[in-house]
Amino acid sequence: MQRRGIWLGLGAILMVVAVGLAFYQQQLRDPAKGEPQGGPIELPSTAGEFSLSQLDDDQLAVIFFGYTWCPDVCPMSLAVVRQVMGRLDPEQRRRVVPLMISLDPERDTLTRLEEYLAFFGEGFIGATGSQDALEALAERYGVVWRRVATPDSAMAYTIDHSASLFLVDRDGEIRRRVLHSPTSGPLQAALEQALAEG
């Protein structure tokens, strides 16, 4: 009897999680939101004031929205970017600028971002901004995110966020949107195509 109660409890928890995930996925592809528009990015960064307009004509930024306290998706995505960067030849690597935009400006100072991103490669840039600036930017790029209180955790809160990678040129045009993947294949293919297009 006790075992049956445990199974019923687990089933209820799984149902809640499944419904939550379904809602979250629906938000990510809500047709009313339209396709991500992209556009300019100008934020304080670990490399000084960052602007897409600073990129050369043949360069692309690989942009990821996340935060340094993220337990799984962020380090996995950044590791994928690192793997792909390691496979590029020197000229291709010059044309790619990896940029992580933190959605947690309260904890992610530029110093913290610099220390965190050093684990993934010296070419990685971290940026963040005010809450208002991040909300406007996330809306233009179709990024869904929200702060979730975790009172029983030492972290106090986490941030749920979508995890696409964006290949963006100096004009803020999204050349490719790469859905989250634990493997490097999708990003590698998208980046090679975008670089070949010039």
Residue 13 and residue 78 in one domain: no
Per-residue model confidence as pLDDT tens digits over 50-67: 999 999 999 999 999 999
Q: Please indicate, yes or no, whether residues 1 and 73 belong to a single structural domain of this protein.
A: no
**What local confidence, expressed as pLDDT, does residue 165 receive?**
97
Do residue 2 and residue 48 come from a single domain?
no
Share of the chain above pLDDT 70, in %: 83
pLDDT of residue 2: 56
Rounded CA-CA distance 10/15 in Å is 9
**10 and 90 inside one domain:** no
- Whichever domain contains 100, its CATH number is 3.40.30.10
Give me the pLDDT at residue 198, please.
77
Q: Is residue 20 domain-shared with residue 116, that is, in the same domain?
A: no
State the pLDDT at residue 10. Answer: 41
Q: Domain of residue 5: give its range.
A: 1-33
Q: Are strands 96-102 and 165-168 parallel, antiparallel or unpaired?
A: unpaired
Residue 158 has which token pair?
């986490």
Same domain, 189 and 103: yes
Cα separation, 110 vs 120, whole angstroms? 16
- Residues 18, 77, single domain; the answer is no
- Within this chain, do residues 52 and 140 fall inside the same structural domain, yes or no? yes
pLDDT: is 151 or 167 the higher one? 167
Residues 42 and 123 reside in one and the same domain: yes
- Rounded CA-CA distance 11/92 in Å is 49
Same domain as 80, residue 23: no
Quick: pLDDT tens for 81-122. 999 999 999 999 999 999 999 999 999 999 999 999 999 988
Q: Does residue 43 sit in the same domain as residue 15?
A: no
pTM for this prediction: 0.81
